[in-house]
Structures are given as structure tokens and as C-alpha cells.
Structure 1
Amino acid sequence: MKLIILDRDGVINHDRDDYVKSADECVPIEGSIEAIVRLNKAGFTVVVATNQAGLAKGKFELDDLEAMHEKITGLVEEQGGELGGIFYCPHHPDDNCKCRKPKPGMLDAIEAEFNTSVESSYFVGDSLRDLQAGLLKGCKPILVKTGKGEKTLAQLADVQLQTDSPTVCAEQVQVFANLAAAVDFILEANH
């Protein structure tokens, strides 16, 4: 199985400092939906792994989150593609759960769901947490400059960056302008 994991906010849709709280606020980044479809057509199973602390913080309800995910899924299906699944962490950052990135719980759940290993799969994200979660499970991390990507790129420039998860240095990460450009690279590398 050719599996690829995508973060949601800042990779597929525009991120917001005040949280994406509704389907109306869930606006795709130009080219992202088409990029997912291109991956599908090349034989990839595309899954989403997203932290959604806004749920625990009361910024939106579960119905709102489901409506956002239905919107993204519908847009992908309209273009002839499909999402293999959307995995999310609903917990507050202080809950110390196992699923909130950078912890690998969502990736463990993806492995269980698809009865496969995520090792060597591409993990596309815009935050340090995404890269760390991917590296913990042996994924190939890709950073996009959309969302928090530019800020994360600046953090990567400091090789001494220490966190509670593995240190991520720039040499470990491929960097692209957006998901569409990352998919160009992935499809070329897997041609």
C-alpha cells in the first residue's frame, strides 16, 4: 500500500489563528484538492492526521468538525478522488493524550486501520509537530510553506532546536511552496 499522510490546517485548507471553526471557514488552499486527486490517481491512499484542540477548547462542536471534514471529502470526491480517512485528536494540549502530534498516536491508529506500517510513507505538514510525529514513526517528512510553514522553516534554520520530541534539522526535511508542489515531487520520485 502506498500511503501518504497529510496534516489538514495549513496544508489542505487555510489555517486561522482563531481556529477553523466551521465548514464556511474551511477554505481549500489553491491546488490542494487537485493534488490529493493526483495522488489517488497515482495509486496513493491519502489520509489526514490533524490536531483539533479547538474541540476541547470549546471553539466549535463535533458537528462543526464533521461538517468541515464532509466538505473536504466532498470536494475531493467531486474531482474524482477520495480520502482514505481523516484521523483527528480532539484533546486539549494539556491533556497529555497519546494522539496529539508530535506524539505518534494518530499514526498508530492509521497503521491499525490499514493494517500496514507508516514507515517510509510521506508525511506532509506545516508545523514542527507534524515533522516530529512523522520522524518518530520513520516517515519521510515534507514541510509546506503554507499555513505555519514559513514560521516552521525559520525554526528549522536553528539546528540547535530542542523539544520534547526528536530534534528536527533542516537536512531531514524536504520543503515545498505548497501541497501541489510537494505532490509534484512525490509523483516524480515514485514514477
Structure 2
Amino acid sequence: MNKAIFLDRDGVLNEVLTSRVKFVNQPGDLYLLEGAAEAVAELSHSGFDIYVVTNQGGVGLGFLKEKDLKKIHDHLIKIVKRHGGHIKEVAYCPHKPKAGCECRKPNAGMLLELAEKHDISLKDSVMVGDHERDIEAGKKAGCKTVFIGDEDTAADRKAPSLQSAVPSILELLTEET
């Protein structure tokens, strides 16, 4: 079985609710956070597959079409690739925030689906997010967790940015379980 790194998108990889962009509704709205592409490259070079798992309720609410979301994710993958990184797949929940689906974080549906599809050992993998719902989804799936931010968290580790979290992520992935 494979080990994997699951990354939330908004707030971990790219800006959201900043002076430059409120929500990412088109590729031109995607501004990567400082050091994020380099962090993904470093994680990619460590030999672990990287997946993005993101709630995208704007689709269900009608603010964004699914085809446009796919263009945004293609753009994200290209930016990361230019920096030497590789995102194996982007999984997203397109449902409205209160839809009650199993894929929307804090539920673990996206992680479970990716694990089945790619033969991933969830107990040996890491979920990285900037909201407690990301950490909760990771824990429900059985993953180790890393919180990006400075708030209190139930995560196994915490760091101010994805770039500064790289050593913790790699340490969690190499720990014996």
C-alpha cells in the first residue's frame, strides 16, 4: 500500500478571502501562497503522492460551474509542475455546504475514495489543512494530521505555512506505526 499526502486547497495552497481575491472562481483568481509551490515540489521529490482534497460549495450554490473548477485545478497543477512538483489528483466536493453528503469535509469521503482508487494506506498518510474540518476529515479517515495556522487544533502537528510544515509532514510519513 502507498503512503500519501492530502492537501486542502484554499488557505493551504492558495489565497482565499484576501485583499487580492475573495473566492477562486476562475483560473485568474488563483494566487498561490508564498512557498506553496516549492513545498509541493519538495514533498513530491520525497517520493510520496500528493492529492488535493477540497470543498467547493460554490459549484452547488451556483457561483461556479464544474467545468470552470476543472480549469482552475488544471491551472494549479501546471503552476506546481513549473516549480518541479506533482499533484497526482484533485478531489473535490461540489455540493452545497449543508447538503449532508459524505464527501464534504469534515466527512472523510474524498480521502476514502482516493485511498480505494490508489491503494493508499490511510493510517500511514497525512492530511494537511487550515481548518479544523480538514483535520477532522483526516482523523476520521485514520490519517495523521498537520494544521496550517496558529489557532488551537486537534492535529498531530501545526505550522504557520505549508512550506514550514514540510519537515513535520515528512517526519509523520516516515514514523513507524
| TM-score, length basis structure 2 | 0.89
Percent sequence identity over aligned pairs: 35
Q: Which amino acid aligns with 2:163?
A: A
Give the conservation status (yes or no) of the 8 Å contact 2:27–2:75.
yes
Q: Retained in 2: the 8 A contact 1:6–1:124?
A: yes
Q: For 1:144, give the aligned amino acid.
A: I
Match in the other structure for 1:81: 85
Alignment correspondent of 1:185: 168
**How far apart are 1:188 and its partner, in Å?**
5.0
- 8 Å CA contact 2:51–2:89 kept in 1: the answer is yes
**Which residue of 1 is the match for residue 41 of structure 2?**
37
- 2:114 is aligned, of 107, 110, 113, to 110
Note if contact 1:37-1:79 (Cα within 8 Å) is conserved in structure 2. yes
Residue number in structure 2 paired with 1:162: none
CA RMSD, Structure 1 to Structure 2 (Å): 1.7
2:146–2:169 Cα contact (<8 Å) kept = no
Q: How far does the alpha carbon of each residue in 1:39-89 deviate from its partner, in whole angstroms, 9 at most, with x for none? A: 111101000110000111111111221111011100111122211100000
CA contact (8 A) 1:2 1:43 kept: no
Q: What residue number does 2:103 align with?
A: 99
SS at match of 2:38: helix
CA contact (8 A) 2:3 2:122 kept: no
Q: What corresponds to 1:19 in structure 2?
A: 23
Counterpart residue number, 2:9:
8
- The one-character-per-residue Cα deviations of 1:135-185 (angstroms, maximum 9, x if unpaired) are 11111111111xxxx4xx15x4xxxxxxxxxxxx3xx43110100011132
Which residue of structure 2 lines up, in the alignment, with residue 144 of structure 1?
148
Q: Please state whether the residue corresponding to 2:12 is helix, strand or coil.
A: coil
What letter matches 1:75 in structure 2? Answer: I
- Deviates most, 48-57 or 10-19: 10-19
* Partner AA of 1:108 in structure 2: L
**Residue of structure 1 in register with 2:136 after alignment:** 132
Partner in structure 1 of residue 159 of structure 2: 176
Residues 188 and 117 of structure 1: is their aligned pair in 2 closer, same or farther, counting only changes over 3 Å? Answer: closer
Q: Is the 8 A contact 1:120 1:140 kept in 2?
A: yes
Amino acid paired to 2:57: A
SS at match of 2:29: coil
Deviation at 1:102, TM superposition (A): 0.6
Query: Separation in 2 of the partners of 1:124 and 1:6?
Result: 5
